[in-house]
């Protein structure tokens, strides 16, 4: 019987096996013609889905992690991904930035729009590659410069979507790209040590988590008007949207809980170096730890209270604003982020209940999401059977790969830094 105790040697050995199997399953995603492809349930490429920016950024990032863990074939994948992000079909050499989708058989799916969500993963990939010693300086600087075009200094948040030539800005605002830009900026801070990354990440967390999530009983709104008022009914006519679903998305509360633990550590590092977290709200962040850790715990508590199914196991995908379940399907990325949140909170609090949740989450993932070839089924129904209401195939490696690493590497830095230090024998 598999053991899932967070610090057991047997469990960590099993996690190592899962890492290996995931990387092996994802190998066919590499397209010799350029970039990475969407995979179907069996792990075969789906060329008709086109090249998608979020997939290519995540695959390149994942290859960096795999390389740092010692997998010999991953360096080639990193270089392949970097080359495609520099000059492939998603790169807009005329107006700058990156398209969201190109090369899809259905021309209506191809998009010249510039989206901060996808570009966040370009920054994540470039920052990871730089930390690992790959030649990604120019790509890193370019991603930061493009993202500056989305940054609204007046409200200290990132906008969502520009048209191709950056002349028309969509009025929609979303928390999801901002959350992933916090993730990317935390990694960027590890690359160059610039305070602005932590200042921006802190401003985003302050608005979305300290102010908005707390005002909604820790059910974080996903969608916003142009002035950043929550748009609670956005998406009511498209509840199965992959990236703009209706209601409150439980997995993002858990993802934020993990990122907040890392943000607090980065703030402490910056204060220790510079004396304070800078920016327009430095005075409000002198005691940031006083609200960040409780907020992370509140988000976790709300997620398991609202969404964990005691009878069938698993976490429902979304709720309404009183905690009623809207979408009871189980998504692989949600349980992966639950594993990450439980790990982070256990490490920083020592509270054994988080270790118990960690075991519960892993047991569900192992019993229901992980298949015989080591891949993760992306969507299940409430009874744990494969489903495809929102997702088809297995396009995403990043969430599952990270889940196999959270308990094996430190939680106060990125997994890239953790893997790099582990490779050098530094476990601090």
How would DSSP label each residue in 326-352?
EE--EEHHHHHHHHHHHHHHHHHH--H
Active-site residue, selected from the candidate residues 11, 197, 252, 368: 252
Q: Provide the residue ranges of all domains of the chain, joining segments of one domain with +.
A: 9-424
Interatomic CA distance for residues 296 and 257, integer angstroms: 4
Burial (0-12, 13-18, 19+ Cβ within 10 Å), 106: exposed
- Helical pair 53-68 and 415-424, crossing angle rounded to 10 deg: 20
Is 413 in the active site? no
CA end-to-end span of the chain: 32
The residue whose two tokens read 């967070």 is 6
Interatomic CA distance for residues 246 and 413, integer angstroms: 32
Instruction: Report helix, strand or coil for 73.
Output: coil
Backbone dihedral region of 314: left (phi > 0), alpha (psi from -120 to 50 degrees) or beta? left
Q: What is the pTM of this model?
A: 0.96
What six digits make up the tokens of 137?
């300086």
pLDDT at 276: 54
Interatomic CA distance for residues 266 and 260, integer angstroms: 10
Interatomic CA distance for residues 220 and 236, integer angstroms: 16
Instruction: Report helix, strand or coil for 378.
Output: coil
Instruction: Report helix, strand or coil for 164.
Output: coil
Backbone dihedral region of 88: left (phi > 0), alpha (psi from -120 to 50 degrees) or beta? beta
- Helical pair 53-68 and 74-87, crossing angle rounded to 10 deg: 150
User: In whole angstroms, what separates CA 134 from the centre of its chain?
Assistant: 22
Helix (H) or strand (E) holding 161: strand 161-162
Interatomic CA distance for residues 425 and 428, integer angstroms: 9
Measured over the CA atoms of residue 322, residue 326, residue 330 and residue 333, the dihedral's sign is negative
Question: DSSP assignment, residue 42?
Answer: T
In sequence order, the 6+-apart residues with CB closer than 8 A to the CB of 64 are: 74, 78, 125, 128, 129, 131, 132, 134, 416
Buried b (16+ CB within 10 A) or exposed e, 58-94: bbbbbbbbbbbbebeebbebbbbbbebbeebbbbbee
pLDDT tens digit string along 20-60?
999 999 999 999 999 999 999 999 999 999 999 999 999 99
- Which of these, 305, 290, 144, 297, lies nearest to 206 by C-alpha position? 290
pLDDT at 272: 87
Backbone dihedral region of 290: left (phi > 0), alpha (psi from -120 to 50 degrees) or beta? alpha
What six digits make up the tokens of 95?
């107006």
Contact (Cβ atoms closer than 8 angstroms) between residue 96 and residue 112: no
pLDDT at 280: 41
The residue whose two tokens read 């015989």 is 372
Interatomic CA distance for residues 299 and 315, integer angstroms: 14
- What values do phi and psi take at 62, rounded to 5? -65, -35
CATH code at 9-424: 1.50.10.10
Contact (Cβ atoms closer than 8 angstroms) between residue 373 and residue 18: no
pLDDT tens digit string along 87-133?
999 999 999 999 999 999 999 999 999 999 999 999 999 999 999 99
Interatomic CA distance for residues 47 and 101, integer angstroms: 12
What residues in the chain have per-residue pLDDT under 70? 1, 275-289, 426-428
Backbone dihedral region of 224: left (phi > 0), alpha (psi from -120 to 50 degrees) or beta? beta
pLDDT at 287: 52
Interatomic CA distance for residues 332 and 347, integer angstroms: 23
Helix (H) or strand (E) holding 273: helix 250-274
Is 252 in the active site? yes
Neighbours of 236 (CB within 10 A): 10
């Amino acid at each position: 019987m598999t053991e899932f105790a967070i610090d057991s040697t047997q469990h960590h050995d099993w996690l190592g096996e899962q890492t290996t199997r995931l990387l092996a399953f994802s190998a066919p995603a590499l397209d010799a013609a350029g970039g990475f492809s969407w995979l179907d349930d069996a792990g075969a490429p789906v060329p008709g889905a086109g090249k998608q920016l979020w997939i290519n950024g995540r695959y390149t990032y994942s290859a960096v992690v795999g390389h740092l863990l010692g997998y010999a074939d991953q360096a080639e994948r990193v270089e392949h991904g970097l080359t495609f992000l520099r000059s492939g079909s998603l790169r807009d050499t005329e107006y700058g930035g990156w398209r969201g989708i190109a090369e899809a058989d259905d021309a209506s799916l191809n998009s010249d729009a510039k989206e901060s969500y996808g570009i966040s993963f370009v920054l994540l990939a470039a920052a990871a590659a730089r930390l690992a010693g790959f030649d990604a300086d120019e790509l890193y600087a370019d991603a930061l410069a493009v993202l500056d075009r989305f940054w609204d200094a007046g409200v200290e948040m990132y906008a969502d979507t520009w048209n191709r030539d950056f002349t028309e800005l969509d009025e929609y605002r979303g928390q999801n790209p901002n959350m992933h830009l916090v993730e990317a900026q935390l990694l960027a801070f590890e690359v160059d040590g610039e305070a602005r990354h932590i200042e921006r990440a802190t401003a985003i967390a302050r608005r979305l988590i300290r102010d908005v999530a707390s005002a909604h009983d820790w059910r974080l709104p996903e969608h916003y008007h142009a002035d950043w008022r929550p748009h609670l009914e956005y998406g009511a006519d498209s509840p199965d949207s992959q990236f703009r679903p209706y209601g409150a998305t439980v997995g993002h509360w858990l993802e934020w809980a993990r990122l907040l633990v890392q943000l607090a550590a980065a703030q402490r590092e910056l204060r220790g170096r510079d004396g304070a977290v800078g920016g327009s709200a430095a005075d409000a962040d002198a005691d940031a730890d006083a609200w960040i850790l409780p907020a992370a715990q509140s988000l976790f508590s709300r997620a398991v209270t609202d969404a964990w199914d005691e009878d069938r196991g698993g976490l429902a995908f979304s709720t309404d604003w009183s905690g009623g379940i809207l979408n009871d399907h189980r998504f692989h990325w949600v349980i992966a982020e639950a594993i990450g949140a439980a790990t982070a909170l256990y490490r920083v609090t020592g509270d054994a209940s988080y270790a118990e949740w960690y075991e519960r989450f892993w047991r569900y993932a192992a019993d229901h999401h992980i298949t015989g070839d080591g891949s993760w089924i992306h969507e299940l129904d409430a009874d744990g059977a494969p489903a495809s209401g929102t997702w088809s195939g297995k396009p995403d490696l990043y969430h599952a790969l990270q889940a196999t690493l959270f308990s094996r590497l430190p939680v106060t830095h990125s997994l890239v830094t953790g893997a790099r230090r582990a490779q050098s024998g530094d476990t601090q």
